[in-house]
Amino acid sequence: MSGARVLVTGASSGIGRATAELFAGQGAQVAMVARRQSALADAARALPKDCAFTIAADVTREADAERCMREAVEKLGGLDVLVNAAGILKSGDITQTSLAMWDEMLNINLRAVFHLMQLAVPHLKASRGSVVNVSSVTGLRSFPGVLAYCVSKAGVDQLTRCSALELAPFGIRVNAVNPGVVVTSLHSSGGMGAEQYEAFLERSKGTHPLGRVGQPQEVAELIAFLASERAAWITGETVSIDGGRALTCAR
């Protein structure tokens, strides 16, 4: 990835941060995007000097999304890779999910992904670049109690496939990764308490056939592969990285 020009959303924590760190470590120039400037600054300090810069933006706001794309392209001198890693998860079944919660999750997890991809297309055409979207095992399989999240990630998967077909004539590849449970702040940010989260992680060891949960760096490695020339003949794929979770029945 040496010299690659990369924009990563959700770059202040979790999979987004691990991805930014990996790309920068491989010699890429990385625009790190997230809502909180302080968290972004902390993440950027862990990267090699002169490999990354931060853009504080709420990508659900159209003006912010347009600004972050404009600033990233100006500072990077173009764009080779877009990684959509920003996302939220909140619990609620069909009776508990308010319209406001539904809109919030669909806006962050799906609408913002679509908008940033749309904004990136002219720049990716010029570089024959690629997009990697961070989806979830819940995009491939149904899970109770997280209705809006499941729907949003299923939407990301279909967006990935449809846009891959439409952008292939321009040499732009579009893929997604579908992680199982990964140790990040996703659940705690969604309101899960510390004790509940520890119990959830412990239970997840039994629901993933390989017997453990994942780490952000493992997902980042797959993202980097899909974005690289090593994956030059791969597009429209939703690739599971979930310790076998998507293979199992409800449990």
- The 10s digit of each residue's pLDDT in 96-121 is 999 999 999 999 999 999 999 999 99
Which pLDDT belongs to residue 126? 98
Q: Which residues contact 6 (CB under 8 A, 6 or more apart)?
A: 20, 23, 28, 29, 30, 31, 76, 79, 80, 81, 82, 83, 227
Q: Which of the four pLDDT bands, split at 50, 70 and 90, describes residue 182?
A: very high
Which pLDDT belongs to residue 199? 86
Out of 25-29, 38-42, 233-237, 242-246, least confident range:
38-42
Q: Which of 5, 74, 76, 35 is nearest to 189 (CA)?
A: 35
* 115-146 pLDDT per residue, tens: 999 999 999 999 999 999 999 999 999 999 99
Which pLDDT belongs to residue 190? 58
What is the CATH number that goes with domain 5-185+216-241? 3.40.50.720
Say which DSSP state 146 is in: B
Cα–Cα distance list, 36 to 21, 42, 105, 154, 174 (Å)? 18, 10, 18, 27, 27
Owner of token pair 């600004």: 67
Owner of token pair 């939407």: 155
Looking at the chain, the whole-number percentage of residues with pLDDT higher than 70 is 97
**Bridging pattern class, strands 81-84 and 52-56:** unpaired
**Phi and psi angles of residue 164, each rounded to the nearest 5 degrees, phi first:** -60, -40
pLDDT at 188 over 70: no
Q: Catalytic residue numbers?
A: 149
Owner of token pair 């199982």: 180
Structure tokens at 175: 């893929």
What residue type is 101 in one-letter code?
M
DSSP string, 73-132: HHHHTS-SEEEE-------B-TTT--HHHHHHHHIIIIIHHHHHHHHHHHHHHHHT-EEE
Higher-scoring residue by pLDDT: 234, 44: 234
The DSSP element (H or E) to which 222 belongs, if any, is helix 216-227
Query: What does pLDDT average to over the chain?
Result: 94
